[in-house]
A = this chain, B = another copy of it.
Amino acid sequence: MTATTLHEPSHREALWELEAAFERGDVVTLFGTCTVEYDGRAASSLGPGARLLVLKPDGSALVHTDEGRTPVNWQPPGSEHRAAVRDGRLRVRSVRTTPAETLDVRFSAVDHLAAYGVTGGRDVEVVGSEADLKERIVADPSLVEAGFEPLATERESEAGHIDVFGRDAEGRPVVVELKRRRVGPDAAGQLARYVNAIEREEPDGTEVRGVLVAPSVTDRARDLLAEEELEHVAVDPAASDDE
């Protein structure tokens, strides 16, 4: 892996290295004092300050301060990075279309620039997602209730994609909505929409049950579930193989 670094480069030196790094498809980090202007879906302006700029070969751009997980400004993948020196100052501009968005970073001082060939090993295996919960339900339908029989995990309805569809011990259709964590009113509304859609699809008068499978629900969600005559089944969030 090659790493090129410049310590307190001139703006013009930084520009040369930046352009070479773009050419190579490197990931670039830039530390320095800069202002940031963004215009697109919204618009924002950020006064002078010391920041970290990360530029990726896929077009992503991140402006980080010393605080927060979220960049203070950014540009999503698919943007195009361009660098220039204007009035003796390095300027990095990242532009994308649909939607039209521009990120403009103007440096008054560049403290450090590093360019790296970063490749390989992007695949993360995340465990504990909603998909995992679905697998648990299918493997052990009694987690929903005794006698529950899953019929489809990919059923489409007029209202959208239903997590698990099946029938209870008495043969009544059951719509199951899965959430891996405590849920609010939005999830109750989502389940209600699905149940209504299935009621329209089933023969007239068929009673369709709706079950929200989640670790817990908020008070407001509980009220909404009661109002819509939907049910909540508590499941332990993690607990698959580990304890």
Contacts and interface: CB of A to CB of B under 8 A. Distances in A.
Interface residues of A, number: 71
Interface string A67-79: 1110111111100
A181 interface: yes
A7 interface: yes
A45 B124 contact: yes
A88 interface: no
A121 B68 contact: no
Interface of A: 1, 3, 5, 7-8, 25, 27, 29, 31, 33, 36, 41-52, 54, 56-58, 60, 62, 64-69, 71-77, 109, 111-112, 114, 116-129, 159-160, 181, 185-186, 189-190, 192-193, 220, 224
Contact of A51 (B62, B71, B118): B118
A118 B5 contact: no
B50 A120 contact: yes
13 contacts: A3-B8, A3-B111, A31-B116, A31-B118, A41-B181, A42-B128, A43-B126, A46-B121, A49-B122, A54-B64, A56-B66, A111-B116, A160-B185
A201 to B, nearest CB: 15
B181 A185 contact: no
